[in-house]
């Protein structure tokens, strides 16, 4: 149950008699250290009062999508982002039907649609409703889309029937919620992640940089924390909030980034997602450069190579499991494989930055991961948050294999 410690659970309470058990479920989840925010549907409120769940969760219950006060406090998108897990208990036949169709006509269904977090459903309904072909088809569709089903159980029902459709008991639900974090595959591991661009100064007012937004590196840091890692995020200048529970070090130039990474060593895993400038001006002019009439219309800037942060750390004797990124505009897999070998990496994540939908500064990504056997694993286009989770799972698996064979 320690898997629930500090986990953030949005508990959706639908309109079924089993809603009375949700009160106990909130208590259990909190006992195990989870933070719980409750969303109630209109139906849920007919069975149990928001005040009960507010008192037990320690936070106001979220009720309406269109409530300006509630939206100002923690809006539906914030709630969706906040969640490590969305657990809907009870999940009624109606809720499941709406979710299966992607309907977003109240706060709970909207949060489900907006979240990147896993969503688990604890169905609770009359046995005939559970057996109905429509419910069965909706359940199959939900499962195929990655929703997790907790139960239902079989037994006597509030309506007097006996059969499948009883909601699982709060203890069982808390256990299953904890199991959702079984991919705490990185517990105890220190992960060092580089992100963003670097800035290489020319003079006190000018610099050379690139279009990296840092989104992928930040999404990886968040996913790694969720997977239980202790994360140090060394980032160039970006406009992104620090993901919770991540220790962030801000740097400007490539040399600063290398120094910050060296200071953060040792680590078990290094993911170099930063777009580091390969060259920097040989000298940083102490004063603002002036237009020089004697050099005509041109300006020659002498550049020198920056250190390769990833290659430097991947060659140390306390070398971490090393993962690089290859952002390329052509010959993606060729160039990526070469970098994997040249930089002595375990894995390289190749992405095609020529495609604006998945390139620098975009919301989405689609990548291929190449290993030392030059085997390629593809991850289809989706949000950077989802890709990050998939990548972290993949890396955690490979790390485990590497550690058991070491």
Q: How far is CA 399 from the centre of its chain?
A: 19
**Window of 13-21, 147-155, 293-301, 321-329 that interacts with ligand C5P by CB under 6 A:** 321-329
Among 107, 310, 370, 399, binds ligand C5P (CB under 6 A): 310
**Window of 48-56, 64-72, 114-122, 272-280 that interacts with ligand C5P by CB under 6 A:** 272-280
**DSSP labels for 202-245?**
EETTEEE-----SHHHHHHHHHHHHTT-EEEEEE-S---PPPTT
Spell out the residues 6+ positions from residue 75 whose beta carbon is closer than 8 angstroms to its own. none
Using CB under 6 A as the binding rule, the residues of this chain from 229 to 268 that contact ligand C5P are: 254
Does 218 participate in binding ligand C5P (rule CB under 6 A)? no
The least distance separating ligand C5P from the CB of residue 288, rounded to whole angstroms, comes to 27
Among 276, 340, 347, 395, binds ligand C5P (CB under 6 A): 276
How far apart, in whole angstroms, are the C-alpha atoms of residue 74 and residue 80? 10
Residue 185 or 344 with smaller CB distance to ligand C5P: 344
Among 306, 322, 351, 365, binds ligand C5P (CB under 6 A): 306
The least distance separating ligand C5P from the CB of residue 144, rounded to whole angstroms, comes to 35
Residue 306 per-residue DSSP state = P
Residue 310 or 387 with smaller CB distance to ligand C5P: 310
**Cis status of the peptide bond prior to 240, with omega within 30 of 0:** no
Using CB under 6 A as the binding rule, the residues of this chain from 277 to 296 that contact ligand C5P are: 278
Q: How far apart are the first and last CA of the chain?
A: 30
**Window of 18-26, 150-158, 318-326, 350-358 that interacts with ligand C5P by CB under 6 A:** 318-326
The least distance separating ligand C5P from the CB of residue 256, rounded to whole angstroms, comes to 12
Does 324 participate in binding ligand C5P (rule CB under 6 A)? yes
Spell out the residues 6+ positions from residue 298 whose beta carbon is closer than 8 angstroms to its own. none
Residues marked as catalytic: 159
Does 326 participate in binding ligand C5P (rule CB under 6 A)? yes
Is residue 56 within 8 A of residue 23, CB to CB? The reply is yes
Determine phi and psi for 367, rounding to 5 degrees.
-135, 165
The least distance separating ligand C5P from the CB of residue 228, rounded to whole angstroms, comes to 23
With CB under 6 A as the rule, give the number of residues binding ligand C5P. Answer: 14
Taking residues 31 to 60 in sequence order and writing x for each that binds ligand C5P by CB under 6 A, - otherwise, the string is: ------------------------------
Helix (H, G, I), strand (E, B) or coil at 102: coil
The least distance separating ligand C5P from the CB of residue 343, rounded to whole angstroms, comes to 6
Q: At what angle do helices 170-180 and 19-31 cross, to 10 degrees?
A: 50
Residue 78 or 278 with smaller CB distance to ligand C5P: 278
Is residue 41 within 8 A of residue 147, CB to CB? The reply is no
The least distance separating ligand C5P from the CB of residue 274, rounded to whole angstroms, comes to 4
Residue 127 or 194 with smaller CB distance to ligand C5P: 194
Please give the residue ranges that form the binding site for ligand C5P (CB under 6 A).
Answer: 194, 254, 272, 274, 276, 278, 306, 308-310, 324-326, 339
Binding residues for CTP: 278, 288, 307-310, 325, 339, 343
């Amino acid at each position: 149950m320690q898997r629930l410690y500090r986990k953030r659970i949005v508990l959706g309470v639908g309109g079924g008699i089993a809603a009375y058990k949700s009160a106990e479920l909130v208590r259990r989840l909190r006992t195990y250290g989870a933070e719980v925010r409750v969303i109630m549907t209109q139906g849920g409120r007919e069975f149990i009062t928001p005040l009960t769940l507010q008192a037990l969760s320690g936070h106001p219950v979220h009720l309406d999508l269109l409530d300006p006060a509630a939206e100002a406090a923690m809006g539906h998108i914030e709630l969706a982002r906040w969640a490590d897990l969305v657990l809907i208990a009870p999940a009624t036949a109606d809720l499941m039907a709406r979710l299966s169709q992607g309907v977003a006509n109240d706060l709970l269904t909207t949060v489900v649609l907006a979240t990147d977090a896993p969503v688990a459903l604890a169905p609770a309904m009359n046995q005939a409703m559970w057996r109905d072909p429509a419910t069965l088809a909706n359940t199959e569709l939900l499962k195929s889309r990655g929703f997790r089903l907790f139960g239902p159980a079989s037994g006597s029902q509030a309506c007097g029937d006996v059969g499948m459709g009883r909601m699982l008991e709060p203890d069982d639900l808390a256990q299953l919620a904890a199991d959702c974090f079984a991919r705490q595959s990185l517990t105890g591991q220190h992960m060092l992640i580089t992100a963003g661009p670097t800035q290489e100064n020319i003079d006190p007012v000018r610099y050379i940089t690139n279009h990296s937004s840092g989104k992928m590196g930040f999404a990886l840091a968040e996913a790694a924390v969720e997977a239980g890692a202790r994360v140090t995020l060394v980032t160039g200048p970006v406009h992104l909030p620090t993901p919770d529970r991540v220790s962030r070090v801000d740097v400007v130039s490539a040399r600063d980034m290398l120094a910050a990474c060296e200071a953060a060593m040792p680590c078990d895993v290094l993911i170099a997602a930063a777009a580091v400038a390969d060259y920097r001006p040989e000298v940083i002019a102490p004063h603002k450069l002036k237009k020089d009439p004697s050099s005509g219309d041109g300006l020659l800037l002498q550049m020198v190579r920056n250190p390769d942060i990833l290659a430097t750390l991947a060659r140390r004797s306390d070398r971490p499991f090393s993962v690089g990124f290859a952002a390329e505009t052509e010959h993606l897999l060729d160039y990526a494989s070469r970098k994997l070998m040249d930089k002595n990496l375990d894995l390289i994540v190749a992405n095609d930055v020529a495609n604006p939908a998945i390139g620098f500064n975009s919301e989405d990504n689609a990548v291929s991961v190449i290993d030392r056997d030059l085997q390629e694993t593809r991850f289809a286009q989706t949000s950077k948050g989802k890709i990050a989770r998939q990548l972290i799972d993949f890396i955690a698996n490979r790390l485990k294999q590497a550690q058991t064979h070491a």
